[in-house]
Structure 1
């Protein structure tokens, strides 16, 4: 049984703990968390109680920070879903491009966002639209392939970020580009590719006028937006070409009408799946809805090949070569009568979806299937964000228990919210492997902790799992 935590303090500590819990429930500002300690101090609480209250305040602030990070991530993912719906509703290319850079500015909170498109004929990339820019020269700059940060992104199809562009020697600096960046006053720049299949059509940027480093989360967020943006740009361009064809080729009107209907059906299906996820639907719900829409069997696997959901088909492992081919091409690929599409967040492979029973898939349904992979990617990112937050909270509680810090009542309440009964007898396991890396051991321990109502985390650089032993502890 877990032991070593101190007994609850007298009335001052109890009142302070209630106050801290109330502040957490209210979502109060960080400075408000000093009030319970100040009140206890004014009431003449002894030093031991004040120390206990200070420890509880530290734990409460840590919980507040974790919850705040989770809320920010959840808000970002919700904004991505909103962006998908907004872009799907736009038909004009200029409106789509303006909406993309404006939403990128809102999502990342940077000073400037902008988008460049590749000019295949000229062999360079040019500034197409900006948000927050004040320098005319910057708004008209063109970058050769491989020049500057944006030219390197366009050439290599990989995201690049710099905390201080002017001082970063990784990039091929030119007088024209450096002068434009200097006129705009930009220092920190992040650029991600706009990808259509294996073709790069441009670059989406976020930049600040002060030096700073972009986090991996910000890179993934802008990459996810770029995936939506590329689809929207392609759709808007396709619609413009369709309108031009209607003027020049009246004989093609029926073909265009059929194609537009297919696009509408794909957009409606995309909106339906997005709305399903926004209302809290999981992988099983997405698989069932997509199976109905495409009239086939659906399997969803994670990046390790584990099945997450299945509808209207028998279990089968993901075809690894087809997933790799889809990832490389950026589109769905057929394999022995089954269509497979990699689920990506930028360059990161999150998993795959497979469609069975539809060997002869029309282009419209293939597009719909590929759009479903984007919704699935957002769902997986949300699931991962929630899981990471829960694992972090479990790990922090485990650390407090093993370090014998914190108030027992607070620790018990925290454990209860995670479904952990500290009144039961528990076993403590320390995991070590000469073969598997530590992060894989930690991930396996976290999964075991969730399924067994236990706790897992790192303690003094060791992977530790605490799980119920099967018999209740003494009262």
Structure 2
């Protein structure tokens, strides 16, 4: 094994391909199957992680290069051409293109393309709501499809479908461009063959769109500065102040762009704003709660409830008007996106702001809105992907998944291995408890990796701790990698019941590829049984409840109950053509007396004893304990009744 590890480590150090690792690992495994298989698995996992990090680094490097290229451009056309060229290269698609919103006509038209060959396609106009691009324009949300012509989610028109067919496009992904909170266009990446776009690719295209939006705004700011310089050429001092103000605004744009491209958040934007403008900065959300504080002189945050700053005159004025406002030495800029107020940026502890500083504060509010909007859209997109995946897994034919390759690719995109054992849990919150809050709480618990079987090493980028949480058929369903269904049920119930009882039924382990629907139905029946038994806030499996779950369940599965209790004995009788079941029935009918049972069966008492020892080997030593014995007797009675009915 040491030599095996050294060989594989040497290949990894030499940046060998996965094929080279597979070839070497196969040779090693022939010599030492047990340890060679483990070494092969670990080596390939390391290779996968290295490749994923390399791709991410390449993407970030490309985004930085794009930012540098766009920073040197001052004309809108150059910015648009650079964006579509970069989009096509980064996503490795056949075509990339960008449409711009025509406010007068109310549609979008093609403005820049890369890789297009169709003249009709290059002059296409998309009405709002028509086609994939029209829906992106109408909703200001990303949309993508692996096969556009067959996707009935989009309103197809003759003109759009003809242009798409002429260009030969099959898979299309589009994301909106927003400048200062306004929709201005759509950035697309498309392939001439079927291709399922991954969340990582959608996010990357969204980053390019955000960069394009910021760059377009920066180009507009540069144009504003040039106009101001021409208009005020006679007033040199004013020109100087305006130039300095524009430079500060451009520096702020560059800084905000760096933060966005570096994956920074609202705290980082607030910190950069405090450095650029001086004073202190506070971010208040739409409910009036403080979410970020920067600057040593900032007012102290309350221990609970709304922040007093949310009632400051400047904040209230900005919230009502949607514009920058000041009062009592405080400046406030509403953070809005798609006509929705998402919070407020509050600046204080410094003197008046000139035009450039005001623009910087407004742009900071715009970037903050974009970050919050992107975060929400990403969460909504991922949640919808998980919900759709779970629905497809639960509705597919047992053991015969439809379009298995696509289903497996979708599962991998959200960190689910369809071949690994998983536990299925159904959560029933108490009446009055918001279901959405339970979904979010369950997602946080699973993402924390604290559930049995969902710890480090089971998650992948974009996953939730090796599982997923979604709503299906009115149920809150948790699918988590692991094998201890009882442990998962009790832990989920305990962790989700802090703000109101949440009852959890679980089943498994099963592989999502097969058996998931049956396990889901069992988990739901178990949760119903726990509620009927008057035990809210608890978690159990059907095996934990035993016959109690069978009695109070909404749809008792008698066959499954008998199989759970007597399965090993029934299988043994079927294989050996024996009658251990008959021996058990005679044993209980004789008051648990082996001698009387032997008399009833007309065999020697030693034969009965040997058969009961065989039962012990199949069911475990505790089958004669009172609670377990009751389960066995009930299962025997149900088995006999079902045979008579048959």
TM-score bin, normalised by smaller chain: 0.5 to 0.7
Pair 1:136–1:368, CA change in 2 (3 A): same
Output the CA distance in 2 between the equivalents of 1:128 and 1:334: 39
Query: Which stretch of structure 1 is more off in the superposition, 271-280 or 78-87?
Result: 271-280
Aligned pair 1:316/2:304, yes or no?
no
- Maintained 8 Å contact 2:218/2:253: no
Pair 1:217–1:246, CA change in 2 (3 A): same
Secondary structure in structure 1 of the residue aligned to 2:156: coil
Query: Which stretch of structure 1 is more off in the superposition, 237-246 or 118-127?
Result: 237-246
Output the CA distance in 2 between the equivalents of 1:204 and 1:328: 32
What residue is the counterpart of 1:410 in the other structure?
Answer: none
Secondary structure in structure 2 of the residue aligned to 1:227: helix
- Of 58, 71, 82, which residue of structure 1 is paired with 2:41? 58
Output the CA distance in 2 between the equivalents of 1:302 and 1:17: 53
Secondary structure in structure 2 of the residue aligned to 1:230: helix
What residue is the counterpart of 1:439 in the other structure?
Answer: 443
What residue is the counterpart of 1:165 in the other structure?
Answer: 148
1:135: Cα distance to partner? Answer: 1.4
What residue is the counterpart of 2:166 in the other structure?
Answer: 183
Output the CA distance in 2 between the equivalents of 1:301 and 1:67: 40
Pair 1:87–1:348, CA change in 2 (3 A): farther
Please give the per-residue CA displacement for 1:261-297, whole angstroms capped at 9, x wherever unaligned: 4332222234356668989999987765542211022
What residue is the counterpart of 1:409 in the other structure?
Answer: none
1:149: Cα distance to partner? Answer: 1.9
Please give the per-residue CA displacement for 1:328-383, whole angstroms capped at 9, x wherever unaligned: 99987879935467599x999999865443585555334434555749959x98xx
1:91: Cα distance to partner? Answer: 0.8
- Maintained 8 Å contact 2:232/2:238: no
- Maintained 8 Å contact 1:134/1:184: yes
Output the CA distance in 1 between the equivalents of 2:24 and 2:216: 54
Aligned pair 1:107/2:111, yes or no?
no
1:206: Cα distance to partner? Answer: 1.1
- Of 22, 30, 47, which residue of structure 1 is paired with 2:18? 30
- Maintained 8 Å contact 2:93/2:189: yes
Secondary structure in structure 1 of the residue aligned to 2:196: coil
- Maintained 8 Å contact 1:198/1:328: no
What residue is the counterpart of 2:62 in the other structure?
Answer: 79
- Maintained 8 Å contact 1:149/1:171: yes
Pair 1:255–1:434, CA change in 2 (3 A): farther
- Of 336, 358, 368, which residue of structure 1 is paired with 2:360? 368
What residue is the counterpart of 1:18 in the other structure?
Answer: 6
- Maintained 8 Å contact 2:280/2:347: yes
What residue is the counterpart of 1:142 in the other structure?
Answer: 125
- Maintained 8 Å contact 1:332/1:340: yes
State how 1:442-457 maps to structure 2 within 5 Å.
442-445=446-449
Pair 1:50–1:215, CA change in 2 (3 A): same
Secondary structure in structure 1 of the residue aligned to 2:197: coil
State how 1:290-301 maps to structure 2 within 5 Å.
290-299=273-282
TM-score using structure 1 length: 0.66
Pair 1:142–1:238, CA change in 2 (3 A): farther
What residue is the counterpart of 1:203 in the other structure?
Answer: 186
Q: Which has the higher contact order (CA 8 A, sep 6+)?
A: 1
Structure 1: give runs of 5+ residues left out of the alignment: 1-12, 385-430, 466-475
What residue is the counterpart of 2:199 in the other structure?
Answer: 216
Pair 1:358–1:188, CA change in 2 (3 A): farther
Count of residues in correspondence between the two structures: 392
Aligned pair 1:130/2:122, yes or no?
no
What residue is the counterpart of 1:468 in the other structure?
Answer: none
Please give the per-residue CA displacement for 1:182-233, whole angstroms capped at 9, x wherever unaligned: 1211111111221123421111111111122222222222222222212322
Output the CA distance in 1 between the equivalents of 2:59 and 2:4: 34
- Of 154, 177, 183, which residue of structure 1 is paired with 2:137? 154
Output the CA distance in 2 between the equivalents of 1:433 and 1:330: 41
Output the CA distance in 2 between the equivalents of 1:205 and 1:219: 10
Pair 1:432–1:15, CA change in 2 (3 A): farther
Larger radius of gyration: 2
1:127: Cα distance to partner? Answer: 0.8
Structure 2: give runs of 5+ residues left out of the alignment: 379-424, 430-437, 460-464, 467-479, 493-646
Aligned pair 1:193/2:176, yes or no?
yes
Pair 1:226–1:326, CA change in 2 (3 A): farther
Pair 1:264–1:191, CA change in 2 (3 A): same
Aligned pair 1:117/2:121, yes or no?
no
1:112: Cα distance to partner? Answer: 1.1
Pair 1:162–1:282, CA change in 2 (3 A): closer
Please give the per-residue CA displacement for 1:367-415, whole angstroms capped at 9, x wherever unaligned: 434555749959x98xx9xxxxxxxxxxxxxxxxxxxxxxxxxxxxxxx
Output the CA distance in 1 between the equivalents of 2:121 and 2:321: 33
Output the CA distance in 2 between the equivalents of 1:146 and 1:285: 36
Please give the per-residue CA displacement for 1:113-157, whole angstroms capped at 9, x wherever unaligned: 111111222222111111111112211112222222222222222
- Of 228, 235, 249, which residue of structure 2 is paired with 1:266? 249
- Maintained 8 Å contact 1:92/1:236: yes
Output the CA distance in 2 between the equivalents of 1:248 and 1:271: 26
